[in-house]
Structure 1
Amino acid sequence: MPRPKSGTALRSRKASGQRVSLKSLAEHLGLSQAAVSLVINRSPGAKSIPLRTQELIRQAARELNYRPNHLARSLRQQRSYTIGVVVPEISEGYAALVMSGIEDHLLQEGYFYFVVSHRHRDELIEEYPLLLQQRAVEGLIAVDTAITGAAQIPLVAVSGHREVPGVTNIVLDHARAATLAMEHLTKLGHRQIAFIKGQEFSSDTAIRWESVRHAAQALGVKINDRQVGQLEGESSSPVLGYQVTKKLIASGEAFTALFAFNDISAIGAIQALREAGRQIPRDVSVVGFDDIQSAAFQNPALTTVRQPLREMGMLAAETLLRRIAAPPEADYPKEIVVQPELICRASTGAAPR
């Protein structure tokens, strides 16, 4: 383990406002400049350095007010170590959980990142990737964002369903997800099932609804169009699910279960059902989708189809960094499929007789 030398000279330099150099910091610690640089810049190679040594390096850097010159590093290596992330919005739910996985991996690997939200505006979806490239990002991650043009730099799309040159799509097995939910409800005796579809602009809406239709047909469940509602508007609050469910109730069509597009809309649906005098799950069972952090703490706790959202974010970041490190002409994965999981909680029960 390194033993720091007397820091009197360095502290005098700090007090006088002089910049502490990497060489001086390394000599103070009795370590090589390469080792100190790996830790300070959070480079992948730092993993080979003992954690205790890493802590000593960072502690000394804080005490001596050492700041790495990222601009000089970028110019020297012709790298920015910066990633661009494009999301529809920053709010509780889908995007936040994906972002947590992206952040964890990029921070671990020593990358900086920009996050932009386009609010489903077509002109921003087209403009933001170009603006991020002008800021020298080395790669892009698009979350629930439709990418139409060929990518000029490595790009990974979470919930991307289009085959676009230069893009790796990370997608859920929606057929399996729909089957898990529908089998769960039919085993509980439900045949009259209402559905809430996602907004038109959501990347997953079309493929998920098609998967639900196929699963229902395979199980002999007839879908009544009057028992199908669709989320409208850009709000990410439960109010959209609340409004759709009010319309489903007002239609007069009886249903004993409801399968919502996501957990947020399921939470709104439960409120609307309660206001109509329906008890959950005695009168109506409710299934969500995503398994956001608050799903387990609803009353009743929400049964849902879990997307491994945080893991999808980490996988997106890992895949992107591998593509950045690879030669430009190297092959890259076009699609990576992840698996869902049914999480049974208290919002579903046997169909009423």
Structure 2
Amino acid sequence: MAVTLAEVAAHAGVSPATVSRVLNGGYPVAGGTRTRVEQAVEELGYVANGPARALAAATSDLVGVLVHDVADSFFGILAGSLQGALAPTGHGDPRRLAVVCNTEGAPAAELAYLTLLEGQRAGGVVLTGGAVEEPGHTGALTARVTRMAASGAPVVLCGRPPLPVPAALPVATVMFDDRGGAFRLAEHLLALGHRRIAYVAGPPGLSTTRERLAGHREALGLHDPALPEACEPLTVHAGFERSAGYDATRELLRRGAPFTAVAAANDTVATGVAAALREAGLRIPGDVSVAGFDDLPVCVDTAPALTTVRVPLREAGVLAAQLVTGRKPLPPGGITTLPTELMVRGSTAPPPAGGSRP
């Protein structure tokens, strides 16, 4: 039997009206009260559209697509490819409505959108982008994904690691070889002769950041066991925006430790890195080589064109659409890892003959 709003209110020790205000949003509710209500909702498995949930196997043609930032080209390309692949193939497939939910990378927003999509009886959900690696959030996310999949709505995790859900459920994982891509990029810089390699990493606590940084450090260590420690002072964690790359590079320059190359967490960050270096009077790649990650369309139009790692975003979007609609069966183990590819362009070159310049 479906849990009622009154039962949630009793469990949280508040009035039904307060529960309604928390669930609907846009109303002022004290932080402690809101937390109690959200915990009660999670513990009881309450879904706002209780009667609809009680209809066995009653799902809609709606597919929810959760992205960190719809304005970011990474997510725009991925979501656009996915939405295009949801169109009917002409063989009796129904038309699907893709609803893009912008979470801004906030764990609470991710959970809230999943609850709303469950209440709307979404026919499937695709979660994209790196996962926040915090045990409490992972547990709450696993519970929601398990509940949705058990109701018959396929779930696809795209660009993030798998969740510990029962193997029989329709939950698929599409991963990118971020670690391997970062390894090959670092190898490329080392082969050019760079040893003082700065790294502008993404935010800590994110799966994408962890994987790319691990690949970078692994390549350094295989080349010379002393390199990871030597380059550690040249590693800065920042956001995934252009301004983050700009600010991180200014901080590296302020510290005064010399470096001849900068590997950035993504291409957008790399544009900020390049801007800060040019502002400081440094040439790319004459004084400092710069590399990114993702291979966004802008990479070929920068001056010089950006060396980067290609992530197969369009291919991933198509695959996610096929999996969430059941047009493609789940792979063994439910996990598909898509390869990444090193794209060498004009922004990387051997270090200057005189050594480190900054």
Does the TM-score normalized on the shorter chain lie above 0.5? yes
- For residues 119-158 of structure 1, the aligned pairs below 5 Å read 119-144=104-129, 146=131, 148-150=141-143, 151=145, 152-153=148-149, 154-158=154-158
Distance 1:130 1:333 in 2: 26
Distance 1:218 1:259 in 2: 18
Identify the match of residue 179 of structure 1 among 174, 183, 188. Answer: 183
1:106–1:333 distance in 2 versus 1, CA, 3 Å: farther
The alignment partner of 2:207 has SS state of coil
Distance 2:334 2:105 in 1: 24
TM-score, normalized by length of structure 1?
Answer: 0.72
Given residue 334 of structure 1, which amino acid in structure 2 is its aligned partner?
Answer: G
Hey, what does 1:95 align to over in structure 2? 75
For structure 1, which segment, 181-190 or 212-221, has the greater mean C-alpha deviation from structure 2 after superposition? Answer: 212-221
Hey, what does 1:104 align to over in structure 2? 84
The alignment partner of 2:227 has SS state of coil
Hey, what does 1:227 align to over in structure 2? 234
Q: Please tell me whether the aligned partners of residues 302 and 346 of structure 1 are also in contact (alpha carbons under 8 angstroms).
A: yes
Query: What displacement does 1:164 show?
Result: 2.8
Query: What displacement does 1:145 show?
Result: 5.3
Given residue 134 of structure 1, which amino acid in structure 2 is its aligned partner?
Answer: G
Whose radius of gyration is greater, 1 or 2?
Answer: 1
Q: Please tell me whether the aligned partners of residues 168 and 332 of structure 1 are also in contact (alpha carbons under 8 angstroms).
A: no
The alignment partner of 1:149 has SS state of helix
Q: Please tell me whether the aligned partners of residues 144 and 202 of structure 1 are also in contact (alpha carbons under 8 angstroms).
A: no
CA offset digits 1:54-113 (Å, max 9, x no partner): xxxxxxxxxxxxxxxxxxxxx9x9552221111112113211111122011012452111
Q: Please tell me whether the aligned partners of residues 142 and 163 of structure 2 are also in contact (alpha carbons under 8 angstroms).
A: no
Distance 1:176 1:120 in 2: 24
1:99–1:226 distance in 2 versus 1, CA, 3 Å: same
Q: Please tell me whether the aligned partners of residues 145 and 157 of structure 1 are also in contact (alpha carbons under 8 angstroms).
A: no
The alignment partner of 1:83 has SS state of strand
Hey, what does 2:338 align to over in structure 1? 338
1:269 aligns with 2:273: yes
Among all aligned residue pairs of Structure 1 and Structure 2, give the percentage whose two residues are the same amino acid.
31
CA offset digits 1:110-139 (Å, max 9, x no partner): 211111111122221111111012112111
**RMSD between aligned alpha carbons?**
2.2
Query: What displacement does 1:209 show?
Result: 1.1
Query: What displacement does 1:181 show?
Result: 0.4
1:78–1:126 distance in 2 versus 1, CA, 3 Å: closer
Q: Please tell me whether the aligned partners of residues 226 and 251 of structure 1 are also in contact (alpha carbons under 8 angstroms).
A: no
Q: Please tell me whether the aligned partners of residues 238 and 248 of structure 2 are also in contact (alpha carbons under 8 angstroms).
A: yes
Given residue 190 of structure 1, which amino acid in structure 2 is its aligned partner?
Answer: H
Identify the match of residue 208 of structure 1 among 209, 212, 229. Answer: 212
Query: What displacement does 1:244 show?
Result: 0.3
Q: Please tell me whether the aligned partners of residues 290 and 306 of structure 2 are also in contact (alpha carbons under 8 angstroms).
A: yes
For structure 1, which segment, 170-179 or 288-297, has the greater mean C-alpha deviation from structure 2 after superposition? Answer: 170-179
Given residue 137 of structure 1, which amino acid in structure 2 is its aligned partner?
Answer: A
Query: What displacement does 1:161 show?
Result: 1.3
For structure 1, which segment, 164-173 or 207-216, has the greater mean C-alpha deviation from structure 2 after superposition? Answer: 164-173
Q: Please tell me whether the aligned partners of residues 281 and 347 of structure 1 are also in contact (alpha carbons under 8 angstroms).
A: yes
Given residue 85 of structure 2, which amino acid in structure 1 is its aligned partner?
Answer: H
Query: What displacement does 1:178 show?
Result: 1.8
Distance 1:298 1:315 in 2: 30
Query: What displacement does 1:333 show?
Result: 4.2
| Structure 1: stretches of 5+ with no match in the other structure | 1-74
Identify the match of residue 222 of structure 2 among 197, 200, 218. Answer: 218
TM-score, normalized by length of structure 2?
Answer: 0.71
1:252 aligns with 2:256: yes
Q: Please tell me whether the aligned partners of residues 256 and 284 of structure 1 are also in contact (alpha carbons under 8 angstroms).
A: yes
Hey, what does 1:115 align to over in structure 2? 100
Q: Please tell me whether the aligned partners of residues 159 and 203 of structure 1 are also in contact (alpha carbons under 8 angstroms).
A: no
Given residue 222 of structure 1, which amino acid in structure 2 is its aligned partner?
Answer: L
1:120–1:228 distance in 2 versus 1, CA, 3 Å: same
Given residue 168 of structure 1, which amino acid in structure 2 is its aligned partner?
Answer: A
Q: Please tell me whether the aligned partners of residues 179 and 213 of structure 2 are also in contact (alpha carbons under 8 angstroms).
A: no
Hey, what does 2:37 align to over in structure 1? none
For structure 1, which segment, 173-182 or 248-257, has the greater mean C-alpha deviation from structure 2 after superposition? Answer: 173-182
Identify the match of residue 242 of structure 2 among 234, 238, 246. Answer: 238
The runs of 4+ residues in structure 1 deviating greater than 3 Å are 330-333
1:81 aligns with 2:86: no
1:258–1:140 distance in 2 versus 1, CA, 3 Å: same
Distance 1:121 1:92 in 2: 15
Query: What displacement does 1:207 show?
Result: 1.7
Distance 2:198 2:164 in 1: 35
1:310 aligns with 2:314: yes
The alignment partner of 1:289 has SS state of coil
1:333–1:255 distance in 2 versus 1, CA, 3 Å: same
Q: Please tell me whether the aligned partners of residues 125 and 145 of structure 1 are also in contact (alpha carbons under 8 angstroms).
A: no
1:201–1:95 distance in 2 versus 1, CA, 3 Å: farther
CA offset digits 1:165-220 (Å, max 9, x no partner): 14322111223212210121111111110001101354301122112111211122
Distance 1:201 1:179 in 2: 20
